[in-house]
């Protein structure tokens, strides 16, 4: 058990710090290259700098990730991509509501992410180690399907409502790309997040902007490529 805790703290500090810093650096792309994910950036923006929203968002995935850890014996991707960045943002925003000085600051996010990551990863690994095998089977058969319900359709519905609430342009792009994403990949969230990014960029810069045109072109090519390699066109 001591070995599990020791390695969990190290992994949590390194992984949590790097992921949180990468998420903060995404706000400066493309001028600064970052290692964060666009979905993480979209989810951080969806919370709109509210520490309660960030904490609540991460908390929803905390329970589902804990169930997955107990059932499968491994951390899900949501631990570092959703829980750590959002809880790090929540911690920083409690003292300072200025996003540019907190969530957008890679150094502060790295420190907060390292602390949050150490606690979360250690807790989940320790819990998975202590849970009896019979309870793990129960979690696998009962709780894991519940996690699937959270990811689809609950999460797509939340992001779609956020896109609609952001305005007509953002709502239109979110709805359109969300539908395309659902048809091709079976999950509307990636498309809705991309729609929010394109819609917001179009609102601020207009459709004549080179950045907006490039972003639309990249998304179109990406969806065509994904559809081709998934055999989507062969179904017709």
Output the average pLDDT for the chain. 85
C-beta of residue 181 within 8 angstroms of C-beta of residue 170 = no
Q: From the centroid of its chain, how far is CA 39?
A: 5
pLDDT confidence band for 221 (50 / 70 / 90)? very high
Residue 92 has pLDDT above 60, yes or no: yes
Give the separation between CA 45 and CA 86, rounded to whole angstroms: 10
Q: Contact at 8 Å (CB) between 86 and 55? A: yes
Cα–Cα nearest to 197, from 163, 220, 164, 152: 163
CA 236, CA 226: separation in Å to the nearest integer? 16
What was the pLDDT predicted at 10?
Answer: 95
Instruction: Express each pLDDT in 145-192 by its tens digit.
Output: 766 776 778 888 888 998 899 899 999 999 999 999 999 988 898 899
Q: Are 12 and 122 in contact (CB under 8 A)?
A: yes
Sheet strands (E) in the chain:
none
* Whether the predicted model's global pTM rises above the 0.95 cut: no
- Cα angle vertex 83, ends 78, 226, to 5°? 35
Helix (H) or strand (E) run with residue 55 in it: helix 51-72
In this prediction, residue 153 carries a pLDDT of 80
Which are the contacts of 105, defined by CB distance < 8 A and separation ≥ 6? Answer: 24, 92
No. of H helices and E strands in the chain? 12, 0
| Token pair belonging to 218 | 């990249």
The answer to whether residues 150 and 53 touch, using CB atoms and an 8 Å cutoff, is no
């Amino acid at each position: 058990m001591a070995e599990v805790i020791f390695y969990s703290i190290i992994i949590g500090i390194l992984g949590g710090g790097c992921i949180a810093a990468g998420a903060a650096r995404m706000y400066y792309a493309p001028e600064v290259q970052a290692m964060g994910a666009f979905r993480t950036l979209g989810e951080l923006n969806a919370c709109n700098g509210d520490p309660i929203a960030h904490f609540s968002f991460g908390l929803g995935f905390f329970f589902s990730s804990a169930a997955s850890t107990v059932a499968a014996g491994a951390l899900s991707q949501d631990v570092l991509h959703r829980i750590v960045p959002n809880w790090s943002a929540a911690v920083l925003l409690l003292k300072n509501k200025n996003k540019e000085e907190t969530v957008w600051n890679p150094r502060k996010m790295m420190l907060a992410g390292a602390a949050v990551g150490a606690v979360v990863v250690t807790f989940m690994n320790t819990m998975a180690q202590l849970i009896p095998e019979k309870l793990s089977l129960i979690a696998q058969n009962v709780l894991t399907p519940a996690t699937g319900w959270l990811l689809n359709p609950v999460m797509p519905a939340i992001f779609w409502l956020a896109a609609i609430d952001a305005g007509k342009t953002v709502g239109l792009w979110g709805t359109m790309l969300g539908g395309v994403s659902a048809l091709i990949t079976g999950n509307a969230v990636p498309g809705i997040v991309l729609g929010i990014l394109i819609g917001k960029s179009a609102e601020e810069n207009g459709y004549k902007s080179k950045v907006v045109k490039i972003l639309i072109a990249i998304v179109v090519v990406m969806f065509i490529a994904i559809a081709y390699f998934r055999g989507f066109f062969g179904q017709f």
